[in-house]
Chain A
C-alpha cells in the first residue's frame, strides 16, 4: 500500500504570482477547489492508498502542493529549500510533521534551492532532477551524496513547466510520458538515453498539466483534458482516472503537485 501526504485546501488561493500561471486578478474559486481536491483525495483512497493529511496553515496558500515539501526515500525525508520567500514558511511545518512520524530529516545546505518531489522523480533506480527555475543543479549533487544513487540533472527551459513534475512522469514499467519541449536539448538527450519507452505529450495536452499525474502501479490519476495521452496509456494497459483540476492549474499545479509519496522509493 502506498502512503501519501496531502494537505486540505482550506487556505488555498492565489495570493501572489510566482509562476506564469498565477494571476491574482483571476483568482481560484474556493468552493470548486475544495470539491476538486476532495475528488482527488477520494480517488487516491479508492486506489487503496493510505492518505495522511497535514494541517493547512493560514498565510501559506500553496501548502496544498505537498509534492514540494521535500523528497522521501525509505525513512529519510529531505526537506525543500524553497526559492521563493512566499513558500519558505511551509518548510518547518512539513519537517516537523515528518520528524514526529519518525522520519529521519536530512537537511540540505541552506544556500541550495531544492523543491522536493516537484523536481525529483525516480524512474527505475535513476533519480531524474529538474533545475533552473526552482531547484539549483548544485542541490542535485547534494541529494546524490545523501542517497548514493544515479541522479540525472535536466535543465528546464519553459517557465510554464517550472518543475520537473509538470512535464515528466515516470511509469513503473521503465517508461515515462513527457513534454520534450520543456527541456533543453541536452536534457532531452539525457532522458532519451535513460528511459526506453517515452510517450510524447502534445503541447495542447501538456498545457492541461497532463504530465502532473500520480501513478499508483497500473493506475494513473491525471487532470482531464488529454484524450490522446489517455488512449496511449490505455494501450499500455494503464487505467486512467481523469479529474477536473482547473482551480489548481490556475496556480500552476495539479494531481501530482497536490501529492507527496511517503516514501517515493524504498532504499536505493
Chain B
C-alpha cells in the first residue's frame, strides 16, 4: 500500500468535527483588529517621519504604566505592595548608553532555506539557531563561525547558550523530547533528560527546564548532575522553569487548580526577606488558582519560591502572566488582560523592589539583559530593543512582508550591542530567517 492509499485510510477515523461548541468570537476579532489597525497607522506615521534615515531608529516613550500606583480597590493584585527592599541586591549602575542605531544581517544557512534563532549568550559572542534542511539542524554561532550540532532531527533545538559556549535544549526522539547540553559539534543527553526540556543555562553551568507536560520544573546543578524538582506551591497543577540568572535565581510560572490552593502550610510561601512582595502572596496563589490562571514565579537561589507581583494599570486587569527571562535581577515576562480584546503586554520586574511594570507598546517581550533592556517586538510587528522608555526599532534586514510580516528580537547581549532574532523573508513567502543585529 503506498502513501496515497495508506494516508487517508489510517487518518480517516480522525475526520471529525471539534468536540466542543465554538468559542470563536467574530465581534471580538473586529474589536481587536480595529485596535491593531489603529496602532499600525500610528506606527506608519512614525516610520514615515523617520524615513530618510539610513537606519530606522524611532525612540518613543511607550510606558507610563510603570509609574502608576496600583489602585487600592481591594483586588488581590492591588493589595500586594512592593517590598521596602532593605538591601539593593542587584547593582543598578549603568555604564553604557542606550544604542541609537543598528545594522542587521542573516545568520548563515548551509544548504539554504528557513532558519530560526533562539538564544544569545550574555557576551553576544555565541548564538544558537536552527536550519531546516533534511530536518531541524541546531547550529552554534561563535563570532561569525558556525558549528552544526549533531545531525538534523525531528524537532531539535538549542534554547539557551552561556558565555562559555555551552548550550542546552532538546532533541526529539520518537515519542518526545530529550533534554541535552551541547558544546561544539557534540551534544549529550542530560541525566534524567528523557521526556524533559532544558530551557536555560547560566554562566556557572546550572541548567533549568522542566517536563514536557510542564508539571515539574527542574534544576540540574551541572551537565552531569541528576535533576532536582523545584518546590511548588500547594495546588499547583502546572509549572515550568524558563530561565536562570547568574546568581542562581530561577524564573518561570505556576498554574493552580480550579478548586483553589490552601496556602496555610505552603512550603513555598512568600519570603519577605527575599526582596519580593510579602504578605498577600499566599492569598494571591489561591485567588489566581480559582481562575485556573498562570502566575509568574521565582525560585531564589536560597530560600522558598514566591509569586511575582501581578502587573496592573488603570483600567487593566491582568489574569494571566508569566516570567520568561532573567538577568541581573531584571525579569521579563508576558501578561494577558481580562477584556473583550484580550490585550497582551510585556512585563518587567525589578527584583530589587519586586515591582512589576507593564510595557504596553511591546507585543512580545522575549529576552532581557543586565540593564533590564528587553528584546522583543512592537505592536506594529517590528523587532525592537527597549529600556522601558525608549524603543529602538531594529532594521528589517529583509523586505517586510505586508501579508505575514512580523520581525522580532529574541535576545540581547549584556552590553546591548548585539541582538538576535527572526525576520520574515518576503522573497520566500514569509518564511523565517535568523538574523543578528549589531548596534551602537
Q: Do A and B come from one complex?
A: no
> B residues touching A (Cβ–Cβ < 8 Å)?
none
B-contacting residues of A (Cβ < 8 Å)? none
